[in-house]
Amino acid sequence: MAEQHYFTSSPDTPERRRTIRVELAGREREVTTANGIFSPEGVDKGTEALLRRVPEPAEAGTFLDIGCGWGPIALTMALKSPAATVYAVDVNERSLGLTRDNAAALGCENIVASTPDKVPAGVGFDLIWSNPPIRVGKAALHEILLTWLPRLNVGGEAYLVVQKNLGSDSLQSWLGETLGEGYEIERFAREKAFRVLRIERLA
């Protein structure tokens, strides 16, 4: 049932938290997860592939994790770039609560975890890392990406990890057609079943 729940704002099952140990930003760390969210058992394979392949983030800037879950991507950004502001967005309030608690436990005071509508409209992003929620369906996924990718600052980059068999190639084509000439889109890396797409805002 977890896959049905993590797309909702309030999972209808009682929260059952547990502590796990995972590797984030080159070290083993203790984090809290729970039922009713994405990948409660640990860092999922797509996110692992993304974090292995992306370039090191800048020391400072405004960063974004789309669909943060319990926070592995946002936490990695925050740990690697403590001078950056890292927005972690999710529709699932349980995920946001876990991300906030994990950020506090790991000393990441630079994470802002919120629902998408609470991110101030004027905020632009220098870097986006995301394992986007492909299983919400194509229309919903496109709406999510068109909400956030146009908010890249000029020169800003987004890195998205997508399974090849879940449409990475067609998503790359759609992004090129939809975003237009002001963006550069490329397949940045591949790892087994996963592709990492890079989107740069040029103008």
Q: What pLDDT digit, counting tens, does each position of 98-139 carry?
A: 999 999 999 999 999 999 999 999 999 999 999 999 888 899
The enclosing H or E element of 65 equals strand 62-66
What's residue 5's pLDDT? 42
pLDDT band at 3 (very low <50, low <70, confident <90, very high): very low
Average pLDDT, the chain: 93
b/e 83-118 (16+ beta carbons within 10 angstroms → b): ebbbbbbbbbebbbbbbbbbbeebebebbbbbeeee
pLDDT surpassing 60 at residue 4:
no
Alpha-carbon dihedral 158, 159, 165, 166, rounded to 10 degrees: -40
What's residue 34's pLDDT? 96
- Looking at the chain, the whole-number percentage of residues with pLDDT higher than 90 is 88
Q: Name the one residue in this structure whose structure tokens are 């090849």.
A: 164
Higher pLDDT, 160 or 9: 160
Neighbours of 178 (CB within 10 A): 14
Of the candidates 15, 99, 14, the one whose C-alpha atom is nearest the C-alpha of residue 65 is 99
What's residue 2's pLDDT? 37
Q: What is the pTM of this model?
A: 0.94
What's residue 43's pLDDT? 97
pLDDT band at 9 (very low <50, low <70, confident <90, very high): low
pLDDT surpassing 90 at residue 172:
yes
pLDDT surpassing 80 at residue 11:
no
